Amino acid sequence: MTASGFNVLMVCSGNICRSPIAEQLLRARTNGHSIRVSSAGTIADDGRPMPEEAAVVSRRFGGDPSTHLSRLLTEAHLREADLVLAATRAHRSAVVQMLPRMSRRTFTINEFARLIGGMAETGQDHLLDSAGVVDAVRSMRGFVAPPEDPDDDDIEDPYRRPFEVYEAVGARIHEQIAVIAEKLCARGVRR
């Protein structure tokens, strides 16, 4: 955790759909806590706004897409992050390839939600605090069963697909972010 708080970086491909929705929803749910949330894309063009469909979905679940502009993921972004949450396993791999030491702090959004949720089920959620949350969640990898289908750890890309796909993706992100935010905020990560 840095002096500016606990830094969470969301990562997807173009940084115009999944990662900004996740960023905006986590920011809205952790307002008042010392959690800084940002996002970037592995193949992003800097400065692109979100498609209207993604912006509508973000607003529907409480996000504010009004100032979002895409940015390309860099090593500097990763060095600032205490936790990286990726849309897919491929994005997680891209993060680790860019900066190998991030393997200990990088999860997919779905994986992190499953693991942090599993801590309560195993009675280990008392181990969480703002400084040790990532280590505690990482330690759950051997105790919380993985999904039957590894693809369940990925969030599909809605870009240029029907609005119903954006809605489904937004609902899934909303569900996972709700779990993550509740657990992070319950640990007293405050300004």
pLDDT per residue as tens digits for the range 96-145: 999 999 999 999 999 999 999 877 665 555 545 555 788 888 888 877 87
Q: How many CA atoms lie within 13 A of 83 on its CB side?
A: 30
Report the percent of the chain where pLDDT is more than 70: 89
Q: How confident is the model at residue 45 (pLDDT cuts 50, 70, 90)?
A: very high
DSSP state of 62: T
pLDDT of residue 136: 83
Q: How confident is the model at residue 191 (pLDDT cuts 50, 70, 90)?
A: very low
Could you tell me the pTM of the whole model? Answer: 0.91
76-90, 151-165, 173-187: the lowest-pLDDT one:
173-187
Q: Which CATH architecture has domain 6-186?
A: 3-Layer(aba) Sandwich (3.40)
pLDDT of residue 1: 46
pLDDT of residue 86: 98
Structural domain boundaries of the chain? 6-186
Q: What is the mean pLDDT of the chain?
A: 89
Per-residue pLDDT at 85 exceeds 90: yes
